[in-house]
């Protein structure tokens, strides 16, 4: 179900960087089409001149050795007492040529601060603040889009209602899904309805398949077949498609049985025409649709 767009929570630093990056990008979209921007100051990232092995998601999933990728850094260096990008110095970004560019990795400066944080309170405080700055993937990249659309960073993931609303039998759950552009701005928001069931210990958790998703799939399949049938001019072809749409499924799970009962009861006139055409007493009897249609004497 499509709902309204929910934008991710951004720190003041992130919001300012986003607006700066968009301002630069919109000044010449062709020039900056493939340019990555620092998520902490919004300036275009530049090549450092070195290659490093930086593992992307596809490499991790494929269990292959990470390839060498160009290292990008923030050009606005920060030094104590001088203006610059204070948080960009903690990162470097990959320049992967195969679409997964923009991933963030620890810079040498970050490793140095982490080492000093064990005995330096100022370094420890600075490091702690870095982790409150939000998403570190570069702007205008696939990774920034995935950060919001897949990993949902800074976005609500789900809402669970009180179990007593359903007499403590199940717990209703609204799960949020998103799509986002390469600057991390949410473009679409969906809500999927599901529920949790109790396990043996009495704790509500996900158990098995979600019947709501099953019913959504079955309904879409049913509508496609029925809509195709209604467009047919040949009566036999039309009735064959309608029979397949209204016929009882070979799957005996309760989700399929409930769905089948509902569609027959919700379309009494059309389903009755199919029964009369094939001289069938009921859609709820046990019979095989394929074998039935193979018997030409029943046409």
Task: Provide φ and ψ at 23, rounded to 5°.
Answer: -65, -45
Q: Which helix (H) or strand (E) covers residue 53, if one does?
A: strand 46-53
Asked if the model's pLDDT at residue 298 lies above 50, the reply is no
The pLDDT of 189-193, averaged and rounded, is 87
Range in 90-99, 141-150, 151-160, 176-185 with the lowest mean pLDDT: 90-99
Interatomic CA distance for residues 190 and 96, integer angstroms: 30
Neighbour count for residue 196 (Cβ, 10 Å): 17
Q: What is the pLDDT of residues 88-108, one digit of tens each?
A: 888 999 998 777 889 999 888
Taking the CB of residue 258, how many other CB atoms lie within 10 A of it? 13
Judged against a pLDDT cut of 70, whether residue 81 lies above it is answered with: no
Main-chain dihedrals φ then ψ at residue 57, nearest 5 degrees: -60, -45
3-state SS assignment for residue 187 = strand
Residue 209 confidence class, pLDDT cut points 50, 70, 90: low
Q: Which of 37-51, 62-76, 280-294 has the lowest mean pLDDT?
A: 280-294
Residue 36 near residue 138, CB atoms below 8 Å? yes
Average pLDDT, the chain: 85
The pLDDT, as a whole number, for residue 297 is 45
Average pLDDT for 177-186: 95
Residue 78, pLDDT > 80, answer no
**Mean pLDDT value of segment 256-280:** 90
pLDDT band, very low/low/confident/very high, at 186 (cuts 50, 70, 90): very high
For residues 286 and 299, give the distance between their C-alpha atoms in angstroms, rounded to a whole number: 19
The model's pTM: 0.68
What is the average pLDDT across 154-182?
91
Q: What is the pLDDT of residues 228-258, one digit of tens each?
A: 999 998 998 999 899 988 988 888 888 888 9
pLDDT score of 1 more than 80: no
């Amino acid at each position: 179900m499509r709902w309204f767009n929910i934008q991710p929570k951004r720190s003041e630093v992130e919001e300012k960087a986003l607006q700066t990056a968009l301002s630069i990008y919109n000044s010449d979209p062709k020039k900056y089409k493939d340019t990555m921007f620092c998520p902490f100051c919004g300036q275009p990232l530049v090549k450092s001149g070195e290659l490093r092995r930086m593992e992307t998601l596809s490499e991790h999933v494929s269990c292959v050795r990470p390839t060498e990728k160009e290292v990008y850094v923030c050009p606005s260096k920060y030094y104590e007492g001088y203006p610059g990008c204070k948080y960009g110095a903690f990162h470097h970004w990959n320049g992967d040529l195969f679409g997964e560019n923009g991933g963030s990795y620890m810079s040498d400066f970050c490793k140095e601060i982490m080492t000093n944080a064990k005995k330096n309170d100022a370094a420890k405080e600075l490091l702690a603040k870095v982790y409150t700055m939000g998403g570190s993937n570069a702007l205008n990249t696939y990774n920034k889009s995935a950060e919001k659309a897949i990993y949902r960073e800074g976005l609500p993931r789900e809402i669970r209602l009180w179990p007593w609303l359903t007499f403590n039998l199940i717990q209703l759950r609204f799960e949020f899904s998103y799509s986002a552009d390469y600057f991390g701005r949410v473009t679409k928001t969906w809500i999927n309805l599901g529920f949790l069931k109790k396990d043996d210990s009495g704790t509500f958790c996900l158990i098995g398949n979600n019947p709501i998703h099953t019913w959504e799939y079955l309904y879409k399949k049913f509508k496609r077949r029925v809509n195709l049938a209604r467009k047919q001019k040949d009566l036999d072809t039309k009735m064959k498609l309608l029979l397949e749409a209204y016929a009882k499924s070979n799957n005996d799970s309760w989700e399929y049985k409930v769905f089948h009962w509902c569609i027959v009861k919700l379309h009494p006139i059309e389903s009755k025409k199919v029964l009369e055409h094939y001289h069938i007493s009921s859609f709820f009897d046990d019979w095989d649709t394929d074998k039935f249609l193979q018997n030409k004497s029943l046409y």
